[in-house]
């Protein structure tokens, strides 16, 4: 278990972390969310001693992290970076060796990861010759090549096309199923909801909401009701006019104990019900609610 314990960090007048605490469990994927400048990257850098917190610490299984433990962690920084002139396979193997793998193991692991990302035929290509998406895959392979206990991935989905996103998400799910603890940051909330089981939302350097995604959603006291009658949004009434959100959806905000049966009957009186959805808030809603700008 990777624990962030009461992290504090200031850069001059800017407070980057203000008492941040949360855990990442083995075998689970944790989405780390927050607006730009909330302190996500600073917190992640603290894991690798790239930033030293003013107070608090990061622990692994309740013990301080020394350099031998560091080597069992994998990191993909937000600012992508690889040696442009080095060949893809050579580069992945190099980072494997830097993490302690022996020559043979490193070459083998590099080949395995290239195959996993369908890049086996590009092993001898220089990184600068690869497409953006493929560079991203090589970057992830460099972070994971030594089969780490924990993967810390800063914005792993940024800059990927929908297919790339799907591949990346599948890869993360597989890794977690093998027991890896995965922490990744993102501001693409819809995406996170699909991928992660746990979520931590931070703002101004402190956690404003954390827990299991499903639990957080269901424990919310509100529910959203969306109904289409004869293929058009049903705006008749449930006691109030529906709120129209950014996407032009007409949603009624109701209590979670509302009588669904009664609502459905009421809608049926106005015509054919073509859609009926009664849902807890999604991650975007929770995020909006938690992050007061």
- For residues 272 and 178, the answer to whether their CB atoms sit within 8 Å is no
Residue closer to other proteins by CB (options 50, 222) is 50
64 belongs to the binding site for other proteins (CB under 8 A) = no
Burial class of 265 by CB neighbour count within 10 A (0 to 12, 13 to 18, 19+): exposed
Residue 82 in the binding site for other proteins (CB under 8 A): yes
Residue from 14, 37, 66, 84 touching other proteins (CB under 8 A): that is 84
Is 71 a binding residue for other proteins by CB under 8 A? The answer is yes
Give the residue among 133, 181, 130 at the shortest CA–CA distance from 157.
133
Q: Which residue's CB is nearer to other proteins, number 75 or number 234?
A: 75
Q: How far is the CB of 41 from other proteins (least distance, A)?
A: 10
- Residue 98 in the binding site for other proteins (CB under 8 A): yes
Of these, 143, 172, 180, 200, which contacts other proteins (CB under 8 A)? 143
Verify binding: residue 83, other proteins, rule CB under 8 A.
Answer: yes
Angle between helices 103-116 and 88-98 (to 10 degrees): 130
Q: Which of 32, 60, 75, 224 binds other proteins (CB under 8 A)?
A: 75
> Counting contacts by CB under 8 A, is residue 80 touching other proteins?
yes
Only one of the segments 21-29, 81-89, 110-118, 219-227 lies at the binding site for other proteins (rule: CB under 8 A); that segment is 81-89
* b (16+ CB within 10 A) / e for 200-222: bbbbbbbbbbbeebeebbeeeee
Count of residues engaged in binding other proteins, rule: CB under 8 A: 31
Assess 99 for contact with other proteins (CB under 8 A): yes
User: Nearer to other proteins by C-beta: 68 or 247?
Assistant: 68
Q: Is 69 in the site for other proteins (CB under 8 A)?
A: no
100 binds other proteins (CB under 8 A): yes
Residue window 19-58: x/- pattern of binding to other proteins, with contact defined by CB under 8 A? --------------------------x--x-xxx-x----
The residues of the shown chain that bind other proteins, judged by CB under 8 A, are 45, 48, 50-52, 54, 67-68, 70-71, 73, 75-77, 79-86, 94-95, 97-100, 139, 142-143
């Amino acid at each position: 278990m990777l624990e962030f314990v009461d992290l504090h960090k200031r850069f001059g007048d800017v407070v980057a972390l203000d008492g941040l605490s949360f855990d990442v469990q083995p075998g689970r994927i944790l989405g780390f969310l927050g607006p730009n400048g909330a302190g996500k990257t600073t917190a992640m850098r603290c894991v690798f001693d790239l930033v030293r917190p003013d107070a608090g610490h990061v622990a692994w299984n309740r013990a301080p992290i020394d350099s031998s433990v560091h080597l069992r962690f994998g990191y993909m920084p937000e600012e992508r970076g690889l040696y442009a002139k080095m060949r893809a396979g050579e580069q992945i193997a190099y980072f494997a060796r830097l993490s302690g793998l022996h020559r043979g193991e490193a070459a083998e692991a590099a080949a395995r990861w290239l195959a996993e990302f369908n890049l086996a035929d590009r092993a001898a290509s220089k990184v600068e010759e690869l497409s953006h998406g493929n560079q991203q895959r090589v970057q992830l392979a460099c972070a994971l090549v030594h089969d780490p206990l924990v993967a810390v991935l800063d914005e792993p989905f940024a800059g990927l096309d929908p297919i790339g996103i799907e591949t990346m998400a599948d890869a993360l799910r597989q890794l977690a199923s093998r027991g890896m603890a995965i922490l990744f940051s993102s501001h693409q909330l819809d995406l996170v909801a699909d991928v992660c089981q746990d979520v931590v939302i931070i703002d101004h350097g402190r956690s404003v909401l954390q827990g299991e995604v499903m639990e957080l959603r269901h424990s919310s006291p509100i529910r959203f009701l969306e109904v289409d009658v004869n293929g058009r949004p049903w705006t008749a009434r449930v006691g109030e006019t529906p709120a129209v959100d950014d996407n032009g959806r007409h949603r009624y905000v109701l209590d979670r104990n509302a009588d669904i049966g009664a609502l459905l009957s009421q809608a049926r009186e106005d015509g054919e019900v073509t859609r009926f959805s009664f849902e807890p808030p999604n991650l975007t809603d929770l995020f909006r609610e938690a992050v007061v700008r």
